[in-house]
Structure 1
């Protein structure tokens, strides 16, 4: 899927030439559309790093059926990815974390709760405003 996207405010192009959301000073989420499914969903490839170390890398997040590739869809996918990656032990069944590595569990226990604010729809994780989404805030 080679389409031009306008990056949301505050996003960058990563050294791997992928759209990247610098979530905070330590975390970057790279996100790129990988392909379309037979029912028209966009499958997203992502990589979350902390201080340049990969914490998660997968392509298991999909858009809704018929979603159009756009800046808004990129932001929606980023929030969806982050919402799943920041689930905490009490948020879901324990077996959800069965395949997590020790490093991923340690990251979850230390960072997930704080980063989960950035995934909240309608609330800016940077400043708490309900007037704009998180990606790239510095008070947009």
Structure 2
């Protein structure tokens, strides 16, 4: 069991070279998450980085937890699913304007990998083993 600053990392997660919790989504992709302060109303603001073969695809701090959320393993898993669900949106999932600020590299990544990775963000079905639980903590697949 790995613990980083009081947070027990979910199974399969690791501490990255940036000293942040990292979720190896598949053999090619890593999602790093770290609490990055609080909003004025007390929500946890999250810094995240999605990379493929250690090349950054997305990096931002535009996701916040609900009001009253405490820092925990479950919060990390819920946040990982939330971030991944936004990053794997495809045309038809949302308004076309959502992708206006994407770089060419981000659009190419979306077109090549977003749909495949979206299964790991599902709340009910694990992208690793197909069972009914959250993918980020899976250790059975």
**How high is the TM-score relative to the length of structure 2?**
0.94
- Residue equivalent to 2:134: 133
**How high is the TM-score relative to the length of structure 1?**
0.95
- Provide structure 1 residue ranges, at least 5 long, that are not aligned to the other structure: none
What secondary structure, in the 3-state scheme, does the structure 1 residue paired with 2:83 have? helix
The structure 2 residue matched to 1:42, chosen from 41, 44, 53, is 44
- Residue equivalent to 2:20: 18
> Distance in 2 between the 1:139 and 1:30 partners?
21
Residues 97-140 of structure 1: CA deviation (Å, up to 9, x unaligned): 0000000000000000010000000210111101x321142417
Moved over 6 A (4+): none
What are the equivalent positions in structure 2 for 1:90-109 lying under 5 Å apart? 90-109=92-111
- Residue equivalent to 1:7: 9
CA RMSD of aligned residues (A): 1.3
> Distance in 2 between the 1:16 and 1:3 partners?
14
> Distance in 1 between the 2:39 and 2:137 partners?
29
The structure 2 residue matched to 1:58, chosen from 37, 57, 60, is 60
- Provide structure 2 residue ranges, at least 5 long, that are not aligned to the other structure: none
The structure 1 residue matched to 2:118, chosen from 116, 119, 124, is 116
